[in-house]
Amino acid sequence: MKKQSIYAHFKGKDELFMHILRDAKEIELSSKLRYVSEMVDSLMLSLVYDNDENRLNEKLEASWTVFWRGISRR
């Protein structure tokens, strides 16, 4: 891909950079939201079928620990 073809879609380097930054932010946010959604689904299934409050609390604590560890990495 030639440099000219990239800049044909953007006014300059700043606009290209901001576009890439927005895309990266959207990808990161969607992965976090997908994790939370899957975590909630898992907890709801456990709540409905396991009928064990202690096990549900253990799963919830473990899920949040993994979640916070994942989003705090830099």
Among residues of the chain, what percentage have pLDDT more than 90?
Answer: 16
Give yes or no for a contact between 63 and 42, defined as CB atoms under 8 angstroms apart. Answer: yes
Q: Which amino acid is at 41?
A: D
pLDDT(73) > 80: no
Helices (H), 1-74: 3-7, 13-45, 53-72
> pLDDT category, 68, cuts 50, 70, 90?
confident
Residue ranges making up the domain that contains 29: 3-72
- First-to-last alpha carbon distance for the chain, in angstroms, is 31
| Mean pLDDT, residues 15-41 taken together | 88
- Number of separate domains in the chain: 1
Tell me what pLDDT residue 21 has. Answer: 94
